[in-house]
C-alpha cells in the first residue's frame, strides 16, 4: 500500500509537469488513473528509481492521449454528472408524534372477497372445460397432465418432459397452446 502511494505521488507530479496539463487540469484524475493502470504491472515488478525514464515516457504519452481525447472525456464526465444529479424530488407526507418519531397511520382496506370468489369459481370451471376440450381433441399431446404438472405440482419443463418422455420443446409448445386456449376465460 505504501508503495502504491509513492507511485501515485510520482505519477501525479509527472502529470503536473507535463506540457499541456495547465490548460487541461480538469482531466487530471483521468490522466493519473490511466497512467497508473498502464504502469501497474511494471511498477510492481521493478525499482522505480532505475526506471524513471520509462515512467516519464508512459505518463507523457497518457497525458497527450488524454488531451487529444479531451472533448470526448469531458462529454462523458458531463453526462455522468447529469445522471448523478438528475433526479426528481418526491414530496412525502408524514405525521410525527411529540418526540419527533414518525407515526405510521396506515388504513388498510379489506377487499370484498365474496364478489371475487363467485367469479373465480366461474373462471375455474371455464378453465377446466377448456383444458378438458383440448385434451379430448388431442389426447396424444397430454394437455391435462402437462397443465397439472406445471401449475399444480409446480414442476419445471425439464421435469415434465422427463416424466412424460417428451421433448422439452413439445412441453413448451403444449403450454403455449394451453395459454392461447385459456386466455379468454381469464380475461373475462
Q: Which pLDDT score, from 0 to 100, does residue 115 have?
A: 52
Percent of the chain whose pLDDT exceeds 70: 81
Kindly tell me the sign of the dihedral angle through the C-alpha atoms of 157, 160, 163, 168: negative
For residue range 126-176, list pLDDT tens digits in order: 778 888 887 788 877 788 888 888 878 888 888 888 888 888 888 888 888
Does residue 120 have a pLDDT over 80? no
CA dist 173 and 170 (Å) reads 5
Q: With a threshold of 0.75, does the pTM exceed it?
A: no
Number of Cβ atoms within 10 Å of the Cβ of 181: 16
Pair 50, 44: CB distance under 8 Å? no
96 pairs with which residues across the strands?
102
CB neighbours of residue 110 within 10 Å: 5
Distance CA 15, CA 6 (A): 14
In sequence order, the 6+-apart residues with CB closer than 8 A to the CB of 34 are 62, 65, 66
Whether residue 108 is predicted with pLDDT greater than 70 in this model: the reply is no
Q: Is the pLDDT of residue 71 over 80?
A: yes
Q: Which three cell numbers stand for residue 16?
A: 503536473
Amino acid at each position: 500500500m505504501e508503495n502504491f502511494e509513492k507511485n501515485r505521488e510520482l505519477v501525479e507530479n509527472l502529470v503536473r509537469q507535463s506540457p499541456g496539463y495547465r490548460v487541461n487540469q480538469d482531466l487530471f484524475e483521468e490522466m493519473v488513473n490511466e497512467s497508473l493502470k498502464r504502469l501497474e504491472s511494471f511498477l510492481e515488478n521493478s525499482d522505480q528509481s532505475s526506471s524513471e525514464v520509462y515512467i516519464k515516457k508512459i505518463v507523457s504519452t497518457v497525458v497527450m492521449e488524454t488531451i487529444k481525447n479531451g472533448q470526448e472525456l469531458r462529454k462523458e464526465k458531463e453526462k455522468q454528472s447529469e445522471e448523478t444529479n438528475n433526479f426528481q424530488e418526491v414530496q412525502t407526507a408524514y405525521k410525527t408524534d411529540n418526540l419527533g418519531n414518525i407515526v405510521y397511520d396506515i388504513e388498510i382496506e379489506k377487499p370484498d372477497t365474496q364478489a371475487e370468489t363467485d367469479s373465480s369459481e366461474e373462471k375455474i370451471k371455464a378453465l377446466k372445460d377448456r383444458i378438458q376440450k383440448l385434451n379430448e381433441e388431442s389426447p396424444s399431446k397430454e394437455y391435462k397432465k402437462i397443465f397439472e404438472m406445471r401449475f399444480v405440482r409446480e414442476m419445471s419443463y425439464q421435469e415434465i418432459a422427463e416424466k412424460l418422455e417428451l421433448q422439452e420443446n413439445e412441453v413448451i409448445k403444449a403450454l403455449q397452446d394451453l395459454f392461447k386456449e385459456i386466455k379468454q376465460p381469464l380475461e373475462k
